[in-house]
Structure 1
Amino acid sequence: MTLTTAERRGMQAISTPGGHMLIVAADQRNGMKAAIHDAPQGSKNITTEELAQAKADLVRYLGNLAPAILLDPEVALPALVDDDVLSRSTALVVGLDASGFEVVDGLQHTRYVEGVTARTVRDLGGDVAKMLFYTRPDRQGEDSRVAHQIRELVRACEDEGVLLIVELLTYRLEDESEEEYTARFPDLVADGAALAVACGSKVLKLQYPGSAAACAAVTEAASGAPWAVLSAGVDHETFVGQVATAMANGASGAMAGRSLWKDSLSISSERRQELLTERAAPRLMELAAVIDGVH
């Protein structure tokens, strides 16, 4: 796995001084609305403008402390760049995926934000692109729809000189019991990584596979491609432990979203500033220390 010169610069931009990926994930839309628990009449009544303001504060008081932040082109961008909210020292990762998914023949498929392409990443001021793909590698091989989609986007990003982070999420099938899925989960994460790399992926964002041995298996399956652990909504303390285990077994960093900020968002900007500064920011610093091995 060899990065181009442009991709290498992108990788540097999203990494800590120790050379490990650390990205604040703030591209959520519906999930972020749900995290604003004190909104009048409940989260469903949060407007797009209110969500944009929450994202702006999240960037100001948390994202700008990280090497990079992941933002969406539906609510956050380009405004947070045009309004000088995003710090020049924080790299921008542009999420290409729309909220939700479609089901075809029992399998989940992600969708692009309408009109957003590899070229759009540059137009929005982005340094790196991120795309989510739902995978069931026990049902999807190198000739599957998702494999063709990964290959196509890898080529498009290479043509634009944009580093692409491929995010994979595996999921339980309708005819699969919880016990069956749990037993298969570590292999699904590792086999998904192998499939993505076979399709040309150079950087991965993956679910925590469950154990030290499973992390080592993912690292082997990734065949040298760096992979970052996603937080998947677990609490901060749990995620720190997962990241430490993953890093000790070959992972290259973390992309943390809700584990950092899910209890620090309020409908009030003043309250958001307080919570993000006093609660979320120290968590980010702790995570950075774990990633770079500072104890």
Structure 2
Amino acid sequence: MLRRIQRMSDADGYIRVAAIDHPENYVALFDPDLSKVGFDEVVDSKLELIRGMAPHCSAVLVDPVWSFGQGVLTGSIPGGVGIISGLEQLAYSPAGFGTETVVRPHWTVPVLARLGADGAKLVVFYREEHTDIVATQHELVRGVVAQCREHEVPLIVEPLWYPLEGESLDDPAVRAARVEAIISSAATFTELGADIMKVEFPGYVGTPEGEAEAAEACARLDAAVDVPWVLLSASATFDQFAVQLRIAAEAGACGFMAGRAIWGDGVGRHDAETRARGVRTAAERLDTLADVLRTHARPWREPVSVSEAVEALPADWHEAY
């Protein structure tokens, strides 16, 4: 498992992931009527972005339909770039995704292990107030954790807060409750066995007061987990996400797994130059985020000295592994 986390990290110990595993919401960027978008059109778009972004990230988060196998087969995902894929089956509609936690029946941890993936990701739409649903979700995650331990595949858990009926983020009380839920869910899934937490930003940027509150929330999140944690971009613009990442990195985040904030300008039925410009922009943004990490973050793991390695692994360690 250690080797797989190393492969999804850069040489300095930062996890810099270009996430392009988006399902039908990616397809909808070409045409709201998904039936009018060709399979090959989506594969071509995703691989074009992956080829451009791969030299600028430590790993890619790819889907099983349009990008994992095709990226490997074509060499668009170089051998030195880590590969992560999600286990979840998301139910998409133009209004958004359904909140039920469902895993793909055929895209499983053993399959990912056989294919050489470096990590498995699981999205969990999570509201702890729904105790009956939460119990089922916890049981599902425990099962996935056991599979990942058996096959030595790191598990990345991504809990996502969502509003219940009558809630609005225009309400300061709801905004504050969301922050607390992000921190609490990170602690919960760490306790359940997640190897890496992929979290929403626990706060709001744009004002000095908001950013100070977010910094305090990020510090509490860091104290609540004892595994590496990385930031997702959600609906943030790139400029907003860069600020969020700085704040999170200063508190202890060791990386990011971000998508549309990075590559959103290059997807759709654009001319070749617009698409190429979008790819260049994505690469530049990844480099900017890498600089944020190098300046403000700490790596997910401190290097182990030779003497420490000798003490931890005596001559016969391999016989008992």
| TM norm. shorter chain > 0.5 | yes
Query: Higher relative CO (CA 8 A, sep ≥ 6), structure 1 or 2?
Result: 1
Which deviates more, 117-126 or 283-292? 117-126
Aligned-residue sequence identity (percent) comes to: 27
Residues in 1 aligned to 2:242 and 2:57: alpha-carbon distance in whole angstroms? 16
Partner of 2:316: none
Q: Residue 179 of structure 2 is aligned with which of 186, 193, 198?
A: 186
Change beyond 3 A, Cα 1:239–1:101: same
CA RMSD after TM alignment: 2.4
Q: What does the per-residue CA deviation read over 1:101-130, in whole Å, with 9 as the maximum and x for residues that have no partner?
A: 79xxxx932222231110111233311111
Q: Does 1:163 align with 2:157?
A: no
Q: What does the per-residue CA deviation read over 1:146-201, in whole Å, with 9 as the maximum and x for residues that have no partner?
A: 11111110110110111111111011111434424312011100110111012111
Aligned residues of 1:64 and 1:86 also touching (Cα < 8 A): no
Q: Residue 11 of structure 2 is aligned with which of 13, 17, 34?
A: 17
Residues in 2 aligned to 1:176 and 1:58: alpha-carbon distance in whole angstroms? 36
Residues in 2 aligned to 1:267 and 1:143: alpha-carbon distance in whole angstroms? 40
Change beyond 3 A, Cα 1:290–1:21: same
Deviation at 1:267, TM superposition (A): 2.9
Aligned residues of 1:219 and 1:250 also touching (Cα < 8 A): yes
Q: TM-score, length-normalised on structure 2?
A: 0.81
Gaps of 5+ in 1: 1-6
Gaps of 5+ in 2: 204-213, 298-321
Q: As a proportion of its length, which structure holds more helix?
A: 2
Aligned residues of 1:25 and 1:255 also touching (Cα < 8 A): yes
Deviation at 1:215, TM superposition (A): 0.7
Partner of 2:219: 216
Change beyond 3 A, Cα 1:94–1:269: farther
* Structure of larger gyration radius: 2
Instruction: Give the match's secondary structure for 2:257.
Output: strand
Q: TM-score, length-normalised on structure 1?
A: 0.87
Residues in 2 aligned to 1:219 and 1:141: alpha-carbon distance in whole angstroms? 28
Partner of 1:59: 50
Superposed counterparts of 1:28-177, under 5 Å? 28-36=22-30, 45-100=36-91, 108-140=99-131, 144-177=135-168
Residues in 1 aligned to 2:144 and 2:70: alpha-carbon distance in whole angstroms? 25
Instruction: Give the match's secondary structure for 2:83.
Output: strand
Aligned residues of 1:157 and 1:164 also touching (Cα < 8 A): yes
